[in-house]
Amino acid sequence: MERIFGRPIVTQEEMRTRIRELGKQIANDYAGKDLVLIGVLKGAYAFYADLARAIRIPMRVDFLIVTSYGGQSKTSGKVKVITELTEDIKGKDVLLVEDIVDSGRTLNRLMALLGRRAPRSLEICALLHKHIATELDYETKFIGFDAPHEFLVGYGLDHAENFRHLPYIASLQ
């Protein structure tokens, strides 16, 4: 049996079930629209891949690489966008896929950046939401799970680039 790291918060099976539900909801909401799914890397890679497969409508995919933590367990507050989009999102329906809503700084920066590109609509989908984002200026339309106010790893979330590979979400505390 594989050794469990950390205190499990969300199991692999719970994620599979919830992501299927989110995929159906997103497909219903965006049916007949010109959807572009934008993943925030590296943290959202596992969630993004599973979510994209669960959305059963035509869509385009793209990614942004962003950093704000470095090797720390607390955000630096400085959001750095490392890559540019390859898709033109003007007039498109954009769904930004994020791993976790924490402080809200990263999402504020990305939503402002993407909003300047004149999409028809721009919404957020997050695997986890801590509900502590006092600085977040945007609503999160789709939420996988409410998350405790703890440092979480696994399923794409990391600590100093470690633990992204875990097939579940665990607390480092």
Give the chain's domains with CATH numbers: 7-171 (3.40.50.2020)
Whole-angstrom Cα Rg for the chain: 15
Q: Which pLDDT value is given to residue 79?
A: 76
CA dihedral 129→135→66→91, nearest 10 degrees, is 90
Which of 144, 130, 126 lies closest to 20 in space, CA to CA? Answer: 144
Buried b (16+ CB within 10 A) or exposed e, 147-170: beeebbbbbbbbbeeebbebebbb
Residues 6 or more apart from 95 whose CB is under 8 A from it?
A: 26, 30, 35, 36, 37, 38, 123, 124, 125, 141, 142
102 is an active site residue: yes
Q: Where are the beta strands (DSSP E) in the chain?
A: 7-10, 35-41, 60-67, 80-81, 93-101, 121-129, 142-146, 152-153, 169-171
Q: Where are the beta strands (DSSP E) in 25-75?
A: 35-41, 60-67
- The stretches in the chain having pLDDT less than 50 are 1, 73
Q: Which pLDDT value is given to residue 84?
A: 86
SS3 assignment, position 122: strand
Q: Which pLDDT value is given to residue 1?
A: 29
Question: Could you say which of 62, 102, 146, 158 is catalytic?
Answer: 102
Q: Which pLDDT value is given to residue 4?
A: 65
Q: Which pLDDT value is given to residue 106?
A: 87
